[in-house]
Amino acid sequence: MTIAERIVARHLPQQGFKTGLCKAMTMALLVATPFGLQAKVDDSLTYEPVAPTIDQARANILIARQLQFTHFRELGISDELSGDVFDAYLEYLDGQKIYLTQQDLNQFQRVRMQLGAALKTGQLQPGFDIYNLTQQRIIERLKFALGLIDQGIDQLDFSTKESMLLDRSDANWEPNQKALDALWIKRVKNAVLAQRLNGTDDDTITENLRRRFEGQLKRAYQARSEDAFQAYMNAFTGMWDPHTSYFSPRTSENFNINMSLSLEGIGAVLQSDNEYTKVVRLVPGGPASKQGQLQPADRIVSVAQGDEKPVNVIGWRLDEVVDLIRGPRNSVVTLEVIPANASDETITKAIAIKRDEVKLEEQSASKDVIELQRGDTDYTVGVITIPTFYADFQAMQAGDPNYKSTTRDVRNLIKELEADGVDGLVVDLRNNGGGALHEANDLVGLFIDKGPTVQIRNANNDVQVLKDEDPSVAYDGPLVVLTNRMSASASEIFAGAIQDYGRGLVVGSQTFGKGTVQAVRPLNHGQLKITQSKFYRVSGGSTQHKGVIPDIEIPSRIDKSRIGEDALDHALPWDQIEAVPHNRYFDFSGIIDELRQRHEERFSTSPEFSLLQQEIDFLQAQREMDSVSLNFEARKTQHEQIERTRLSIANARRELRGEEPFATLEDLEDWQDQQAADLNTTDDELDFVIREGGHIMADMLELDRRMVSIVAPKQYTAKASAQ
């Protein structure tokens, strides 16, 4: 008898429900009991349905009012919005469509268009009914998976030609529990197969999967009213834009701790992503950033303290995951993550990070010098790397005349570089997620005599123009600004202003597109982070959604379809307002085609770029895989091909540096672990993108010697068109 035939052997016990659910939802729970395997779990546990509180209802009413009357986007609560909230809520609760069935959804249809009216008046029960049924279905699915494991994973058949869809977000809901059973057999088979291919024995696989599913099951039984409320409110607030969100009282506490920078941890910003906790960005200078292995869009599967066994955190609340990762300085936490570029969720990687404080001095701007030999001419290029836009507000408020800030530090670095006789300057803003707005404004002022730097429009269409009022200029030579997809907010303001003024060239990849401003407003219960205004460049175009488009583009490993404002649901659109008068220091239109041609010629013969493009193509092929084979031989062949490619790319990079290649992938991974463990390891050779920025700067000088000083001779003053 096959596993598929065994699943009808006995019923899962129906869990009891207390009063409080509406009659229709109660009936849905009673009639949709699935057939499945009996897991060896504690059957004395029952799911206790959660119910809304009076405080939550009041907070809901306040949230609805603030969204309608103070948010930047004008959006009424309509029947259409009600349906969108319904869909977003289901996506949050079951985004991969692995718990609920179409039969379950049919029970919800009658409330689909009623949620909006209910949310206006604090009637939360419909949302809680949906949440309670989903939790019950999660429990049933996890018991089914545990039942499969109890039967023995050696009973699973890996000789068929089955395959499994990797991303089910756009798939249809399974029609009934029988179809869902078949799907979950595939999910368990996929998890077993992935671990077998990594050399894990069946006993360990069984232990790993049991620990994972039991941990999720425990969390499902421990659902709280606040979990349902926060999920429901964020589905609601997310209709206005992805940066507007509700913070429960507990989440508010974590948010305030993070904003004060007093947190000892790993230096990563996290958010909930369906049942996972996802890395949004790394704090510059923080332990995770310095360790180098954790990346944005990685999803955390488990957390281990020191040498202890890992705790599976799939399905955990965000605040609980944060508590688990947070810890005393110099202690080690190990995160098991699904890498952002993994072909499926069964591929994980363990990353050990030593906790520490995020120190301001480690976020500071730094400088370097590179020498370029071009024919008979040598160029000295200054490089200033700015990880974030920072200011020591405490020292500033205390009246310390030497307080640290981005602009002050960069001004001093420019003086040192000019003393070194640099011919031009490269400012590296890659991975700079923003920071203090006034620092972006002041930093622009180091490169222009004076003028507007950014426009800010609020919900009432009032426009505030920030300006550099200081006529002094710290640097008047040729300038290149490097950006990538992780350059956001204040970085985009600086890069956009430099581009609009014709003060320098932007080189790299399209920036994030975060062009909105949020404010945190207290509620009677928790807080509301709400978008209240929008950034616009001096040329009139918004940095929102579109970001800054580089003058010369360099491809990046970062997946734009997953990271960036335009990858987020309900992001505010790009638009433009009237430009403000500003100087235009140089018109690059006469030389930009030649600059691009020279750049492309260099890259066409560059082994570093060839290797980068090979890696991008490899990652893209991984991302484009929409299904995975459940046949052992076919999967093994695919797995070995992926490993060979990874090893080939790593060894090609080592050969460029004159280093010995690795014999096996295990050798590569051991070396990576050793490098990550040593936070003092540095790479003395600046990456080739920075060097290319220097070459572009040299090209600028060769094509037009007026760039020796492009601030003094202002070309013209105009209302430039939007970029």
Residues with a known catalytic role: 489, 500, 514
The pair of three-digit structure tokens given for residue 560, joined into one six-digit string: 């734009």
Give 139's contacts (C-beta < 8 A, 6+ positions apart).
Answer: 15, 47, 217, 220, 221
The pair of three-digit structure tokens given for residue 545, joined into one six-digit string: 């959604």
Give the number of C-alpha atoms closer than 13 A to the C-alpha of residue 619, restricted to the C-beta side: 18
Q: Is 717 helix (H, G, I), strand (E, B) or coil?
A: strand
The pair of three-digit structure tokens given for residue 322, joined into one six-digit string: 């944060």
Among residues 322, 273, 268, 316, the alpha carbon closest in space to that of 292 is found at: 268
b (16+ CB within 10 A) / e for 247-273: bbebbbebbeeeeeeebbbbbbebebb
Both ends of the chain: CA-CA distance in Å? 66
How far apart are the C-alpha atoms of 196 and 346, rounded to whole Å? 11
- Exposed (0-12), middle (13-18) or buried (19+): which is 150, by Cβ within 10 Å? middle
Helix axes 665-677, 632-656, angle to 10 degrees: 60
Amino acid at site 450 = K
Task: State the DSSP H helix or E strand holding residue 163, giving kind and residue range, or none if neither.
Answer: strand 163-165
Cβ atoms within 10 Å of 311's Cβ, excluding its own: 16
Q: Which residue has the tokens 């710290």?
A: 474
The pair of three-digit structure tokens given for residue 346, joined into one six-digit string: 């069964």
How far apart are the C-alpha atoms of 237 and 240, rounded to whole Å? 6
